[in-house]
Amino acid sequence: MCYSRLRRNVAQLGSALASGVRGRGFKSHHSDHCKRKALNRAFFVSSLLPVYNGFMNAVFDITGIVLETERLILREWKPSDLEDFFEYASVEGVGEMAGWSHHKSIEESQMILKGFIDDRKTFAIVYKENNKVIGSIGIEFYGSVEKLTEFAELKGREIGYVLSRDYWGKGLMTEAVKCVIDYLFNVLDYDFLLCGYFDFNARSARVQEKCGFVPYRRLTFSTRSGGSEKGVLQLLLNPARKINLEFSHPETLISPGENNEG
């Protein structure tokens, strides 16, 4: 089960937004994965801000958002998370699964941690049992939006994630991603989400499959380490919406039932 604790200051919205805002309850469409207490509509800043940033990239701001599952807490990053961050990010083979090189120094981790805090779009994943930060989930901008015209009138983002090697194989990332999906669809009213994996990353492919993503496009991804990797971009539509897409660029589309390996 997943609970969200949202701490927003209505004053930050300005008197124009704050006036007339009324409390509302929230009923999750995925109560088996996430159940939350919606304290007040005024707390949902992202849903009150302009819908789009570019074409399909919805506005997202992590400030004050806390999501909780049976084993995890998803929250903003803090400067005090540095040691935990470096501990898992410095392990060879962890970042590489997501397209970035493992960290060579704690100074490198500190610089990236500052980016997480400043950009306000990445959750720290905290394991309740030991209160350690063991990974991250980013609610990322998706590039080339002007080319994917099927999303021009919709709002969504791309999810990216990484988990400490010590916690692989426990179902934790699936638990975290399902909770984030529930929040983005049923609180922020996103229409769709994208998520990708490299061909060599079978673990990530399984996480996405368990979370309901379906193959969408076969692409060559540019990595943060300066290289490129072939992989699959996956798509998840909000099941509460009736969305019919007219796909652009058929040359990269994956047909239903197509064998996507290799």
pLDDT per residue as tens, the chain (262 positions)? 676 655 333 223 232 222 232 222 233 334 444 544 333 322 333 332 333 344 458 889 999 999 999 999 999 999 999 999 998 888 876 656 665 567 688 998 999 899 999 999 999 999 999 999 999 999 998 876 667 889 988 999 999 998 998 999 999 999 999 999 999 999 999 999 999 888 888 888 999 999 999 999 988 767 666 677 788 899 999 999 999 999 998 989 987 655 444 4
d(CA 7, CA 5): 7
Residue 14's pLDDT is what? 31
Tell which residue, 132, 214, 123, has the closest CA to residue 176. Answer: 123
Alpha carbon of residue 184 to chain centroid: 9
Residue 191's pLDDT is what? 95
Which long-range contacts (C-beta less than 8 Å, at least 24 apart) are formed by 224-228? 224/99, 224/100, 224/101, 225/96, 225/99, 225/100, 225/101, 227/99
Residue 225: C-alpha distances to residues 62, 95, 161 (Å): 26, 10, 16
Residue 230's pLDDT is what? 84
Architecture of the domain spanning 3-191: 3-Layer(aba) Sandwich (3.40)
d(CA 148, CA 25): 35
Residue 86's pLDDT is what? 93
Orientation of helix 172-186 relative to helix 202-210, angle to 10°: 50
Residue 94's pLDDT is what? 62
Residue 47's pLDDT is what? 31
Residue 262's pLDDT is what? 40
DSSP strand pairing (156-163 vs 192-198): parallel
Q: Do residues 2 and 67 make contact, with C-beta atoms less than 8 angstroms apart?
A: yes
Residue 225's pLDDT is what? 63
pTM above 0.75, yes or no: yes
Q: Do residues 253 and 216 make contact, with C-beta atoms less than 8 angstroms apart?
A: yes
Residue 68's pLDDT is what? 97
Residue 59's pLDDT is what? 87
Helices (H) and strands (E) in the chain, counts: 6, 9
Residue 146's pLDDT is what? 66
